[in-house]
Amino acid sequence: MPTSTPPRAAADAVRAQDVRREALRIGGTRVATERSSEVFNPYTRSLVGTVACASVEDVRRAIAVGKSFRPRLTRYERYRICYQTAEALRARTEEIANLITAESGLCKKDSLYEVGRACDVFLFAGNAALQDDGQIFSCDLTAHGKRRKVYTLREPLLGVICAITPFNHPLNQVAHKVAPSIASNNRMVLKPSEKTPLSALLLADILYEAGLPPEMFSVLTGDPREIADELLTHQDVDLVTFTGGLAVGKYIAAKAVYKRQVLELGGNDPIIVMEDADIAEAATLAALGSYKNSGQRCTAIKRMLVHQAVAEPFTSLLLEKTRAVRYGDPMDPDTDMGTVIDEAAARSF
C-alpha cells in the first residue's frame, strides 16, 4: 500500500467552513430532534456536521406522508425535475465535491467524478421518463377477433419505497435510488449511511428546489439499529432497495420477507491477466481498480489471477504503479487515493 502522510494543519475551504447542523427532511419539512449524531472528517478527524437522529415515530410519519400523497407529475414534469437537478448539481460541483470529500475522505479527484456521475444519472432518468412504455395490441389476429385495439398504460403501483444507501458513494448511490423513483412517479423514504449523511440531505434540498413535490422524498438520518426494522417491516413500504455489505443484505432479506427487494451487495471482482495480455495496460487497470475511490466500491479489484508466464513482469509493473499513487490529503487536487473511512466496512463490500 502507498505510504500515508500525516494530516496538514493548514485550514482549507472545507475545514474552515461552519459546522453543518442538519435536521431530518420529512416531506420537505425540516424536523429537529432531541438527539443528534456527529459526522467527522476521516482524514483530519475534525467535526464536519451534526445530523438529527430519527425515532421510530419519525419513520412512521415519513412513511405516512409518502403514502397519503398521490403523485400526478406528467412525464415532462418528471423530466424537468431530473434535468434541473442535474443542472443544479453541475453548477455547484465544487461545493458538493468539497462536502463529499469532507464527510467521506474520498480524494477530490474522486468526489468531482462522483458529482459528474450523479448528474448523468438524473439525465438518464429524465430521458427515461419521456419514453412511453405503454403498448398497443391488435385484436383481429384470429377468425374470432374484432377489428379493434387494446391500449395499455403503466402506472406506479408502489406505496412507499424504502432506500438504504452506503458510505462509499454518498451522493451517487443516493442518485441511483431516487432518480428512477422520480422518473416512475413514486415516493421514497431514504436512510443514508450514518457515516456520510450530509450529501444526501443537500441533494434533498436541491430536489425540492428543482420542483419535486416534497411529499415524494424524505430523508431520515440516525442509528440504523433503532429505525431500520421499522423501515423494513412497515406495512406501507412496498419495496426495499439497499446497496451495501453482504451481512446487512442478508438481514434485510430475512426481515423484509414478503416485500419486493432490490439488494446490491457488491462482488469479489477479479482481474484476469492471460499470457498474451498487454501487461502494461493490465497493471494500470489493476492499480486503478484497487485504489480509485479509496478502494471502497463494489467494482474494486479484489483478486488478481495472473498467468504464471507473465506473473513476474506484471507484479513488477504493479508495484511500480502502486508506488506512484499519491496518498494523503484528500483535498489536494493531486492526491490519487483518499482516506479509507471504515476499514471493517470496506472489507465487507
Q: How far apart are CA 88 and CA 301, in angstroms?
A: 33
Q: Does residue 2 surpass a pLDDT of 50?
A: no
Instruction: Provide mean pLDDT across the span 147-173.
Output: 91
Give the pLDDT score at 154: 81
Give the pLDDT score at 269: 87
In this prediction, residue 297 has a pLDDT band, given cuts at 50, 70 and 90, of confident
CA neighbours closer than 13 Å in the CB half-sphere of residue 226: 14
Q: Does residue 21 surpass a pLDDT of 90?
A: yes
In this prediction, residue 13 has a pLDDT band, given cuts at 50, 70 and 90, of very low
pTM assigned to the model: 0.88
Instruction: Provide mean pLDDT across the span 94-122.
Output: 97
Q: Are 205 and 234 in contact (CB under 8 A)?
A: no
Backbone phi, then psi, for 40, in 5-degree steps?
-110, 145
Q: Does residue 11 surpass a pLDDT of 60?
A: no
Give the pLDDT score at 342: 66
Is 264 assigned a catalytic role?
yes
Instruction: Provide mean pLDDT across the span 141-169.
Output: 90
In this prediction, residue 17 has a pLDDT band, given cuts at 50, 70 and 90, of low
DSSP for 234-292, written as a single string:
-TTEEEEEEES-HHHHHHHHHHHTTSEEEEE-----EEEE-TTS-HHHHHHHHHHHHHG
Q: In the chain, what percentage of residues exceed pLDDT 70? A: 93
Q: How far apart are CA 282 and CA 227, in angstroms?
A: 44
Question: Grid coordinates 432531541 are at which residue?
Answer: 34
CA distances 211 to 78, 203, 214, Å, are: 9, 13, 8
In this prediction, residue 281 has a pLDDT band, given cuts at 50, 70 and 90, of very high
From 87, 114, 298, 312, active-site residue: 298
State pLDDT tens for residues 179-209: 999 999 999 999 999 999 999 999 999 999 9
Q: How far apart are CA 252 and CA 70, in angstroms?
A: 27
Q: Does residue 49 surpass a pLDDT of 50?
A: yes
From 87, 95, 194, 264, active-site residue: 264
Is 87 assigned a catalytic role?
no
